[in-house]
Chains A and B, each alone.
Chain A
């Protein structure tokens, strides 16, 4: 809910940063397709531990990852820590669902925000513990031990 409200506010206000401006920002590394399309539920259900395995799958499949900032703004990550492999790169997979602080440059283009991350300043680990609310999303993320 917190993210949803913040996102709604940000949509109205929008970021005021200039293209290529240096930025240090904290947020969660998310799977942007599930977040934007709603294909698996609302925004709070497709983040955090509930969506961790799916986020890895999508990142491995080359779906763009994003940084969901603390104010609810989504930044599409085009490069991460010196790697331009934003379609299936190792760094994106390893940071899926992690809460990270990054430094880099921000851009805005036709309604979307983009981030070129120079450095991961700090990896806070996974802090969005929401599987107790949502289970796993999608429900088959964990294989059924009964087959």
Chain B
């Protein structure tokens, strides 16, 4: 029952792209998320573990999450998502700017119901003073460089990622050991 209602709920969500305090001048593309706000602002790209917990020994090392310390008010925003369609985060796109002052454009998520605040989807980045924007869509290129054999296969990256395939092989699509056929049947 619920599986049929979910798409309807998504479609019936409130009108997206409400204006927020940093929406002026934003050219962010709407994702039609219920609580998205266009947000364009200047910030310093920071290492989250360093900024939050003071663990700075490996600051900005590959694989650590990166954040945006907003210039206007000192608020730490957390870019959970980049500009690619689905399943890709923003750390790879922010990494070249770690420690630098940048301008970003994207969508802020503010949803008290689930505890989301200062959660960000970054679409464009540029160093302060630069003319050209960089689109935050570098994740799949970085993945292909790390997993060239998987990238040579047909299909989306998440169907071919060896880490994902190994976990599904071990525990199934539901994580509880069902075979592919069993999982398909019981979720129809």
- Give chain A's interface residues, CB within 8 Å of chain B: 4, 7-8, 10-11, 20, 32-33, 35-43, 45, 49-50, 52-54, 56-58, 60-64, 72-74, 76, 78-79, 84-90, 93-94, 96-98, 105, 107, 109-114, 116, 126, 129, 131-137, 139, 141-145
Contact = CB atoms under 8 A, between A and B. Distances in A.
10 contacts: A36-B115, A37-B109, A39-B31, A43-B113, A85-B64, A88-B63, A112-B76, A113-B115, A134-B6, A136-B173
A142 B183 contact: yes
Nearest to B93: A62
B6 A137 contact: yes
A86 B65 contact: yes
Contact of B49 (A79, A93, A144): A79
A55 to B, nearest CB: 8
Contacts, number: 212
A113 B115 CA distance: 9
A64 B78 contact: yes
Interface of B: 1-3, 6, 9-10, 13, 31, 33-36, 48-49, 51-53, 55, 58, 61, 63-66, 75-78, 80-81, 86-92, 109, 111-119, 121, 139, 158-159, 161, 163-164, 167-168, 173-176, 180-181, 183-184, 186-188
